[in-house]
Chains A and B, each alone.
Chain A
Amino acid sequence: MEKKWEEMTPDERQEALFARWISPEGATFASPEAEKAYKERATRIKDAIQMKKLPDRVPIFVLPSFYPIYYSGMTPRDSMYDYDKSNAAFKKFVIDFGPDGNLGAAVPGPGKFFDIMDYKLYSWPGHGVSPNHSYQANEGEYMMVEEYNDLIEDPSNYFYKTYLPRVFGALEFWQQLPSVTGIVEMYGVAGNFIPFGLPPMQEALKKLMEAGEEALKWGQAMGAFGGDILASGYPVIVAGFTKAPFDFLGDTLRGTRGLMVDMYRNPDKVLKAMDVLTPLMIKMGVNTALGAGNPFIFIPLHKGADGFLNDEQYKKFYWPTLRKVMIGLIEQGVVPFPAAEGGYNSRLEVVKDLPKGKTMWLCDKLDMKKAKKTLGQVACLAGNMPSALLNLGTKQQITDYAKKLLDDCAKGGGYIMSNGSFFDEAQAENIHAMVEFTREYGVYK
Chain B
Amino acid sequence: MAKDLVNTLADLKEDEAIAIVQERLSKNEDPMKILNEAGRGMEIVGKRFSESRYFIPDLVYSGEILKKINELVKPKLTGGGEVKKGGKVVIGTVAGDIHDIGKDIVVFMLDVSGFEVTDLGIDVPVQKFIDAIKETKAPVVGMSGFLTLAFDSMKQTVDAMKEAGLREQVKVMIGGGQITDEVVKYTGADAFGKDAMAGVTLARKWTGN
Residues of A within 8 A of B (CB): 123, 128-130, 132-134, 136, 138-139, 256-257, 260-261, 263-265, 307-310, 313, 341-342, 386-389, 391-393, 421, 423-426
> Could you tell me how many residues of chain B have their Cβ less than 8 Å away from some Cβ of chain A?
32
CB neighbours (8 Å) of A130 from chain B are 95-96
Q: Does B195 contact A (CB under 8 A)?
A: yes
In B8-35, which residues have CB < 8 Å from any A CB?
Answer: 12, 14
Q: Does B206 contact A (CB under 8 A)?
A: no
| Binary contact readout B152-190 vs A (1 if CB under 8 angstroms, 0 otherwise) | 100000000000000000000000011110110110000
Cα(A132)–Cα(B98), bound, Å: 14
Say how far B199's CB is from chain A's closest CB, in angstroms.
14
In B75-117, which residues have CB < 8 Å from any A CB?
Answer: 95-101
Contacts A134-B147, A421-B177, A421-B178 aside, 14 further interface pairs with beta carbons under 8 A come to A123-B98, A132-B96, A133-B97, A134-B149, A261-B57, A261-B61, A263-B57, A308-B55, A308-B57, A387-B148, A389-B182, A423-B148, A424-B149, A425-B148
Q: Does B151 contact A (CB under 8 A)?
A: yes
Residue among B14, B57, B179 with max Cβ neighbours from chain A (10 Å)? B57
Query: Contacts A264-B14, A421-B177 hold; do A392 and B57 have CB atoms under 8 A apart?
Result: no
B178 and A392 contact, CB distance less than 8 A: no
Name A261's contact: one of B54, B64, B96 (CB within 8 Å).
B64
B56 and A260 contact, CB distance less than 8 A: yes
Residues of B within 8 A of A (CB): 12, 14, 54-58, 60-61, 64, 95-101, 123, 147-149, 151-152, 177-180, 182-183, 185-186, 195
Contacts A/B (CB < 8 Å), 8 sampled: A123-B98, A130-B95, A133-B97, A260-B56, A391-B151, A392-B182, A392-B185, A424-B147
Cα(A138)–Cα(B149), bound, Å: 17
Say how far A131's CB is from chain B's closest CB, in angstroms.
10
Name A307's contact: one of B55, B95, B123 (CB within 8 Å).
B55
A136 and B97 contact, CB distance less than 8 A: yes
Say how far B173's CB is from chain A's closest CB, in angstroms.
16
B151 and A425 contact, CB distance less than 8 A: yes
A425 and B195 contact, CB distance less than 8 A: no
CB neighbours (8 Å) of B57 from chain A are 260-261, 263-264, 308-310, 313
CB neighbours (8 Å) of A389 from chain B are 180, 182
Cα(A393)–Cα(B14), bound, Å: 48
Cα(A260)–Cα(B151), bound, Å: 29
CB neighbours (8 Å) of B95 from chain A are 130
B60 and A388 contact, CB distance less than 8 A: no
Cα(A139)–Cα(B123), bound, Å: 14
Name B60's contact: one of A260, A307, A392 (CB within 8 Å).
A260
Cα(A310)–Cα(B195), bound, Å: 16
A388 and B149 contact, CB distance less than 8 A: no
Say how far B192's CB is from chain A's closest CB, in angstroms.
10
B101 and A256 contact, CB distance less than 8 A: yes
A265 and B14 contact, CB distance less than 8 A: yes
CB neighbours (8 Å) of A309 from chain B are 55-57
Cα(A106)–Cα(B113), bound, Å: 44
Cα(A256)–Cα(B60), bound, Å: 9
Nearest residue, chain A, Cβ from B187 = A392
B149 and A425 contact, CB distance less than 8 A: yes
CB neighbours (8 Å) of A256 from chain B are 60, 101
Cα(A389)–Cα(B179), bound, Å: 10
A133 and B178 contact, CB distance less than 8 A: no
Cα(A138)–Cα(B185), bound, Å: 30
Query: Contacts A387-B178, A388-B183, A393-B182 hold; do A307 and B56 have CB atoms under 8 A apart?
Result: yes
Say how far B188's CB is from chain A's closest CB, in angstroms.
13
B56 and A388 contact, CB distance less than 8 A: no
Cα(A389)–Cα(B181), bound, Å: 10
CB neighbours (8 Å) of B182 from chain A are 388-389, 391-393
B195 and A133 contact, CB distance less than 8 A: no
Say how far A253's CB is from chain B's closest CB, in angstroms.
16
Cα(A129)–Cα(B14), bound, Å: 38
Nearest residue, chain B, Cβ from A264 = B61
Cα(A393)–Cα(B148), bound, Å: 13
Closest A-B pairs by Cβ, 7 of them: A260-B57, A392-B182, A133-B96, A260-B60, A388-B180, A310-B55, A425-B148
Say how far A404's CB is from chain B's closest CB, in angstroms.
15
CB neighbours (8 Å) of A387 from chain B are 148, 178
CB neighbours (8 Å) of A134 from chain B are 147, 149
Say how far B99's CB is from chain A's closest CB, in angstroms.
7
Say how far A140's CB is from chain B's closest CB, in angstroms.
11
